[in-house]
Structure 1
Amino acid sequence: MKKIVLITAMIGIFLSFSSCNEEELNLDNPNALTTDQFWVTPNDAELGLNSIYAMFYKDGLWSRWLYFRLDLTSDEGFSQSPWVELADWTRFNYINYNFWEGNAVTWRDSYKAIFRANQVLAYVPDIEFSDSNRKQQILAEAKFLRALHYYYAGLLWENIPMVLEPSTPSDLPQQVSQEEVFAQVEQDLNEAFADLPLQWDAQNTGRPTKGAAKAMLAKVYMQQRRWEEAKTALDFLVVGEGANYSLVDNYKDNFTDLNENNAESVFEIQFGDQRRGGTDEGPNAAVSSTRAQFFAPRGIGWSDGQARFWLVDAFKQESTVDGEIDPRLQHSLFYPSLFEDFGDKTYGRDWEWGEDEAWFRKGARDYKRDNEDYYSEVNWRMIRYADILLRYAEVLNELGMTADAYQYVDMVRARANMAPLAEAYPEIGNNADAFLDRLKIERVLELSGESVRWEDLKRWGDLESQETVDEIAQRDPDFNNFEVGKNIRLPIPQVEVENNPNLEQNPQY
């Protein structure tokens, strides 16, 4: 059973919230369940939990717009959309802070997901279960999901309201720092870890495991450069009790619907095309991804996002041990000489592009169709083991264990038939700075277009000085617009600032 999230319109509407005035708050809907009426049975708890998972399918989050913030705003991607304001929000030209598609919808859906998680965490403890273990698992899943959404909200906006209880439209939550946000993420993940299983049975594929909790912990520790704690979290996945992951033989299997939830998957979002509605709360609401539709080449999709061509050049800097082009390029990007380089003729009959244009291929369905739509069923591998191995190498290097870090980079390189790192680049030796410089490239080659680059740039400090930003601008001219100290975080939607006296706009906005 691939999909675990199928919610009804009633539950979706009940667990949603929107702004309203004082008079509206006092109106009772005779057809709506009250909190006391709903949170009664274990099935109610399951439905409440499902409503959190359903937020992955909303356009403000992992169905659509979050990729614009994580992939296109980074130096890997950009937009040439004729919708100028949409494109401006990938090149740091933030004028209308309330711009829906660029900012406000992701803010809304992030807090909508958090709101749903808070309800589960507040009301499920009072429900009587015959299976106490399942009750604890539900709470653990809700904590994991709340942590995940707070992590990305903290990554994007940094200084945000902290809401840990079921809220009402009249609440005025206090703003906290990114450090405090990440502290809550850490707490939720540690508590979730205790009650999540190492693995789920086939009927529950897609739920977070202990490994997923440790992987998210590693991410939040690394963003704070807390290397010792990050190592402890990653130890669990690489050399500890949770070391039950491995790299799949075929790199392409990480980006199609043909081998999903495989041995390399640490956590992935389960998408499907069985429902073809919108992203609302209706009974036919889609459970699909629209990323491929928006990132497809001209003539195939909307083409609102594409890849920087320097990525193609990066893949061609080093050949395999057999003197061939890095095979990961074939499955990472569309570009003009794709056919010439790999004899790949599975897609492209209707392409419209220039000689120096590239497009993200991961998640595209060219292996079985020649167009895209709003209903991609290809799961999104949010965290895969290759990322974990490269993170482990980075952490070991930061801790002065550079010699030990090589083997984990080599595991990733070996799948692509690349020579061991020390053989290919002997000049690195045990120089930690040189090793990190090379690791930055290794992460691009393995993970380009997988929504990790923005957090990488922030973690490495590459967005903190004009000198490093200028270096980025050489490969991505959009960074000529980047203001150090300002654009490292998004502006908070202005309507939120105006409506909440406890909320201040982010610095320099």
Structure 2
Amino acid sequence: MKKQILTLTTLACLAITGCDNSLDNVKNQTSYNDDTYFTSPATISEALTAAYGLMLYKGLYSRDFYYLMDLTGNEAEADAPLLGDVLQLHDYSYAANHAQINDLWSTAYKLTFRSNLVIDKAAKVIPASDTEKAKLTQYVSEAYFLKAYAEFLLVTLWGRVPIRKDYGENSEFYLSRSSVEDNWKQVESDLMNAISGLPVTYGAGDLGRVTKGAAVALLGKSYLFQKKYAEAAAQFELLTKAPYTYGLVANLDELFTKSPAKNTETVFDIPHKAWGGWAEGSPYYMFGSQEGSGSGKNTLTGRAMEYGWNDWRNVFISDAAVKAFTYTDETGKQYVDPRAKNTFYGDKSSGGDITYCDNCPGGAKEYPYFENGNGFRWRKYEPYEYKEKGELPQSDINSQVIRYADVLLMLAEAQINSGKTAEALPLINKVRARSGAFAYTSLGSKDEAIKKIMLERQLELSGEQVRWFDLIRWGIAKQTLNAEKKAKFPASTQSFFQDKHVLFPIPLTEKNTNPLVANDIVDDWN
């Protein structure tokens, strides 16, 4: 999509410093506080931009979120160069002091704080025109969505967590853990508030902001997690008809090998912009200097560099993920799904792409299969069809959080679990047809249909940080991941995934600072 990148330059506003050049003439800028600064649509917009900026903060989409979800979900495996805390994710040896897990928790609560600030302060601004009133409504609705997204991550990854419902509660340093049910109610409430005020589309100058469709999709996904299948289906079905115009792009490469043009498939993504030089700050900002690197204009992601087989090669696609693309068709014959070629580089028998640099000036080159360990390396989210090396962590390939194919498959899953297998069949086939996979003539029994939708989501959404959430939601994480690990390491006696790993550990930082939470943790884990 054509992007307007919401930069991080206004983050300093939340540290109570002036962001407007007109403040240079104010004698005592330190007299400003949150009540005296955020008094206009312009300053509310700055606060909202600061909230958006957290999507690229520690734990999220500049770097850490890929490792957190791909390694725990066994879609990625650690390669030799991978070092530090992220190594612990692949064998589930992490604990409450794990850096990236602590960062994700912290950033999620920062996102609720900044979103709550927007909601609270915008309500006190007196608009000077109908245009200003509409803008304030939009800003508040965007903030409700961002808050709900943070809450969604917290409840799905940690379960019972403290709820910070509004800005006033930020003065409450200690909050108890709320039930999972109450957390979901908060997510639903915030998303409904977002839906009521978000636009369906934006003009060219505002692309990159969350839309009404994104909120509808996240609400449907929240219902799906709670097994509210009828409610989930109702939300997803809204996105298949007017006023929404979502569709599937012709080829997955349009989304995952280059900066995508404006397209019909993206429902909610994190826009990235390639590094523009040192005037924008360091390209290595993803290692924790998001709010202090240069001018704060960096919005690139390091995913391509970190995963790239011709760059840092820290991880590779797991054996289990590769093998999933080969399965039996309806006649019982072995079948290689064509989406393998969009997902990984490999050999001909696996279905992986065997050339790279297809669009480079010098033409296509043979992928060096035998020079890459098990031979299989990530292609999705990599730029190697357009250049030989990344050279710097500077990818501008947008992070797809929810796309229309995901919506169709979630709708199919909701229908199957509601006993409407016939309605699910064309939805699954529509997604498969885009990549040239054979069409199912039947999904079989309900149990057979569930197995098919599970496989379909694994193949279509491979490497998109969805697998872990799906395995947890389906209740099959332990049996699936341990079976995959056993197949990879048959001689190992290690117990990889244990029952406790269904949830992340409550971070050590929270335990050390909040006695109400510290006294409500079982077995020093969650």
TM-score normalised by L of structure 1? 0.87
| SS in structure 1 at match of 2:74 | coil
Select 1:219's aligned residue among 211, 218, 221: 221
2: CA distance between counterparts of 1:53 and 1:158?
Answer: 24
- How far is 1:399 from its partner? 0.3
Matched, 1:316 2:326: yes
2: CA distance between counterparts of 1:43 and 1:151?
Answer: 29
Number of residue pairs matched? 483
Matched, 1:263 2:276: no
Read off the aligned partner of 1:345 and give its amino acid letter.
Y
2: CA distance between counterparts of 1:492 and 1:307?
Answer: 29
Q: Which residue does the alignment assign to 1:233?
A: 235
Select 2:470's aligned residue among 443, 452, 456: 456
Read off the aligned partner of 1:494 and give its amino acid letter.
L
Are the aligned partners of 2:338 and 2:351 in contact in 1 as well (CA < 8 Å)? Answer: no
Q: Which residue does the alignment assign to 1:287?
A: 299
Matched, 1:171 2:189: no
- How far is 1:342 from its partner? 4.5
- How far is 1:314 from its partner? 2.3
Read off the aligned partner of 1:366 and give its amino acid letter.
Y
Read off the aligned partner of 1:158 and give its amino acid letter.
G
- How far is 1:320 from its partner? 12
Are the aligned partners of 1:269 and 1:380 in contact in 2 as well (CA < 8 Å)? Answer: yes
Q: Which residue does the alignment assign to 1:127?
A: 125
1: CA distance between counterparts of 2:104 and 2:152?
Answer: 13
1: CA distance between counterparts of 2:180 and 2:496?
Answer: 20
Matched, 1:507 2:518: no
| SS in structure 2 at match of 1:53 | helix
Q: Which residue does the alignment assign to 1:26?
A: none
Percent identity between matched residues is: 27
Give a deviation string over 1:222-270, Cα, whole Å, max 9, x none.
Answer: 11111111011111112x4344111111221121334334111111111
- How far is 1:196 from its partner? 0.8
TM-score normalised by L of structure 2? 0.84
Change in 2 beyond 3 A, CA 1:170/1:391: closer
Q: Which residue does the alignment assign to 2:345?
A: 334
| SS in structure 1 at match of 2:268 | strand
1: CA distance between counterparts of 2:296 and 2:42?
Answer: 21
| SS in structure 2 at match of 1:421 | coil
Gaps of at least 5 residues in structure 1 are: 18-28
1: CA distance between counterparts of 2:306 and 2:352?
Answer: 26
Q: Which residue does the alignment assign to 1:406?
A: 425
Are the aligned partners of 1:212 and 1:267 in contact in 2 as well (CA < 8 Å)? Answer: yes
Q: Which residue does the alignment assign to 1:148?
A: 149
Matched, 1:369 2:383: no
Q: Which residue does the alignment assign to 1:71?
A: 70
Are the aligned partners of 2:82 and 2:315 in contact in 1 as well (CA < 8 Å)? Answer: no
Give a deviation string over 1:28-58, Cα, whole Å, max 9, x none.
Answer: x964731123111110011111111111121
- How far is 1:349 from its partner? 7.0
Change in 2 beyond 3 A, CA 1:338/1:368: farther
Q: Which residue does the alignment assign to 1:21?
A: none
2: CA distance between counterparts of 1:325 and 1:315?
Answer: 6
Read off the aligned partner of 2:88 and give its amino acid letter.
D
- How far is 1:343 from its partner? 4.8
- How far is 1:76 from its partner? 1.8
Q: Which residue does the alignment assign to 2:408?
A: 389
Read off the aligned partner of 2:214 and give its amino acid letter.
A
- How far is 1:498 from its partner? 1.9
- How far is 1:472 from its partner? 4.6
1: CA distance between counterparts of 2:345 and 2:481?
Answer: 27
1: CA distance between counterparts of 2:6 and 2:113?
Answer: 17
Q: Which residue does the alignment assign to 2:59?
A: 60
Relative to structure 2, which stretch is displaced further, 310-319 or 62-71?
310-319
CA RMSD of aligned residues (A): 2.9
Relative to structure 2, which stretch is displaced further, 78-87 or 326-335?
78-87
Matched, 1:90 2:90: yes
Select 1:379's aligned residue among 374, 395, 398: 398
Q: Which residue does the alignment assign to 1:492?
A: 506
| SS in structure 2 at match of 1:62 | coil
Change in 2 beyond 3 A, CA 1:487/1:40: same
Change in 2 beyond 3 A, CA 1:48/1:400: same
| SS in structure 2 at match of 1:368 | coil
Read off the aligned partner of 2:475 and give its amino acid letter.
G
Change in 2 beyond 3 A, CA 1:371/1:39: same
2: CA distance between counterparts of 1:315 and 1:349?
Answer: 19
2: CA distance between counterparts of 1:241 and 1:110?
Answer: 33
| SS in structure 2 at match of 1:161 | coil
1:422-437 to 2 correspondences below 5 Å: 422=441, 428-429=443-444, 431-437=445-451
Are the aligned partners of 1:271 and 1:379 in contact in 2 as well (CA < 8 Å)? Answer: yes
Are the aligned partners of 1:330 and 1:338 in contact in 2 as well (CA < 8 Å)? Answer: no
Change in 2 beyond 3 A, CA 1:2/1:482: same
Change in 2 beyond 3 A, CA 1:376/1:223: same
| SS in structure 2 at match of 1:390 | helix
2: CA distance between counterparts of 1:433 and 1:154?
Answer: 28
Change in 2 beyond 3 A, CA 1:109/1:434: same
1: CA distance between counterparts of 2:369 and 2:354?
Answer: 16
Read off the aligned partner of 2:522 and give its amino acid letter.
P
2: CA distance between counterparts of 1:62 and 1:242?
Answer: 30
Are the aligned partners of 1:150 and 1:181 in contact in 2 as well (CA < 8 Å)? Answer: yes
Give a deviation string over 1:153-206, Cα, whole Å, max 9, x none.
Answer: 222122222113336587112222332222111111011101111111221112
